[in-house]
Structure 1
Amino acid sequence: LKMNECPSLRETLLRSRCHKGRLLYYFRPQQRNVTEGKETVSSWCGWHTDHGCITGLTRGMFMKDGVESGCSGSSAGFYVRARSGEIVKVVFGEEEIAFQVGEITEVLSRGRLCATPHCVNAPDGEAVERSVFALFMQPDW
């Protein structure tokens, strides 16, 4: 492609055959991570950015002993780091899908859109597991 013939991100993703759907499973926590007397906010999955274009996520489902369960730990869940550096817990409904920007989109947009740093925090003192469906969308070039 020539520089002036660059397709839009939407067109690139619509024609791609490289999207990957994964059921992400987080085992019940064995013990909490502690840093200098303070609990971390990334006990289930550490801070990272996705390398693809866009990631779609369903709401996390918590299970206890094989039965769906609510999670009473208010600190449990999915967190993002805003451009300001603020850490924000992402909350969305059962019928909703959340999307986050990946590193390829950050490069293609020349930094106008930034990859979303994110992590998953386990609940305090609860023997629950967590499952979530993630769709990693990326170009096939």
Structure 2
Amino acid sequence: MLTVPGSVPFETLEEAFGSSSLGIIVVKDLSPQFVDLRRSLLSYASYLANLPQDELAKLEHEQSKWLVGWSCGKETLKDGHFDTLKGSFYVNCNPSFAETKIQAELADRYPGFPEYTALNVWPSESVLPGFEPAFRELCMLITETAALVARACDQYAEGRIKGYKPGYLEHVVTTSHVSKARLLHYFPQPYGSSSGDEDDWCATHVDHGCLTGLTSAMFVDEEKHPPVLSDGFAPLPELDGSPDPKAGLYIRSRSGETVKVGLPKDCLAFQTGEALETITKGKFKAVPHFVRAAGPGKGGRIARNTLALFTQPNLWEMVDEKRDFAAFAKEIVERNH
């Protein structure tokens, strides 16, 4: 576990990223604002997912293959069927993207790639008041923390990976214009609806960026506390945890073991993705993970909300001898959608 601010013992890095590791590091002692920001934004996930369908349709962006704005039922899972168990809201979380000419330059330089060059799509203030500022504020905090984690990862890699470019991961985190954040809402499952598969809520996969920041999940009883904006926004009451102890985030370790990850509400977790594995020629392994749903009779009307922030190289940066990140990302998008 990494403390912010503070140095990272070599043993901690070895435990997080070594050959027998889970490939994940947990960060504690975050900004005092973090707990409230997390609860607020993850509450918004329920409010967003329960908006009328005509409002959600306004937030869809088909041209980007739903890598911008809202989507549900557009992503394919391991057996080829569409994932209707979760709603997704993607945002380019870099302040430079919208507030400067960067977006227009990227769109001009990479025509036909709206997945990473299209402007964000936000619900209006009248529909979901305070959502955009809450989203941006939490993402800024996670990005600042990711830069500290990246610096520690660089120090580890420079001593362990031959030819590793000094400061590479911190460079990605602090200079990229195309990092993405994804707010996720796993819908409550009806009684007896579980498929029985381990990864029925979110199929086993690896992230395709470099370093992914994760909040702990918020579990909400949407039957007792309907997420409807009748009197304005208010954070939703949060359950202490999942009603089913087997439900949640699982990681397949370097040794092939499946391990359930319990993340405290006041902490962040960071794990490595496929782009970093490619860039380091397999020395940093991407982390296979999945989300398991509550079992039959245990789900009720319990929703699960979480946020993932994917730090990614700029589109023109090379990930191997032949592909820049734009080409690499295109391959991933075609595979998943």
TM-score class normalised by the smaller sequence? 0.7 to 0.9
Q: Please state how far the C-alpha of 1:134 moved relative to its aligned partner.
A: 0.9
2:266 is equivalent to residue 95 of structure 1 = yes
TM-score (norm 2): 0.38
Q: Counterparts in 2 of 1:35-114, with a 5 A limit?
A: 40-65=197-222, 66=225, 67-70=237-240, 71-114=242-285
The CA distance in 2 between the partners of 1:85 and 1:55, in whole Å, is 20
Q: Please state how far the C-alpha of 1:68 moved relative to its aligned partner.
A: 2.4
The CA distance in 2 between the partners of 1:18 and 1:28, in whole Å, is 32
Whichever structure has more helix as a proportion of its residues is 2
Relative CO higher for 1 or 2, CA cutoff 8 Å, sep ≥ 6? 1
Counting aligned pairs with the same residue, the percent is 41
Aligned pair count reads: 133
2:171 is equivalent to residue 14 of structure 1 = no
Q: Please state how far the C-alpha of 1:21 moved relative to its aligned partner.
A: 1.6
2:323 is equivalent to residue 139 of structure 1 = no
Q: Kindly provide the amino acid, as one letter, of the partner of residue 243 in structure 2.
A: S
Whichever structure has more strand as a proportion of its residues is 1
SS in 2 for 1:43: coil
SS in 2 for 1:62: strand
2:200 is equivalent to residue 32 of structure 1 = no
Query: Unmatched 5+ residue regions in structure 1?
Result: 35-39
Q: In the alignment, is the contact (CA less than 8 A) between 1:29 and 1:44 conserved in 2? A: no
TM-score (norm 1): 0.86
Q: Which string of whole-angstrom CA distances, capped at 9 and with x for unpartnered residues, describes residues 80-112 of structure 1?
A: 100111000011111110111110000111111
The CA distance in 2 between the partners of 1:134 and 1:12, in whole Å, is 17
Q: Please state how far the C-alpha of 1:53 moved relative to its aligned partner.
A: 0.8
SS in 2 for 1:68: coil
Query: Which residue of 2 is the match for residue 37 of structure 1?
Result: none
Query: Which residue of 1 is the match for residue 24 of structure 2?
Result: none
SS in 1 for 2:209: coil
The CA distance in 1 between the partners of 2:239 and 2:262, in whole Å, is 17
The CA distance in 2 between the partners of 1:134 and 1:62, in whole Å, is 16
Query: Unmatched 5+ residue regions in structure 2?
Result: 1-162, 226-236, 317-337
Worse-superposed segment, 54-63 or 66-75: 66-75
Query: Could you list the runs of 4 or more consecutive aligned residues of structure 1 that deviate by over 4 angstroms after TM superposition?
Result: none
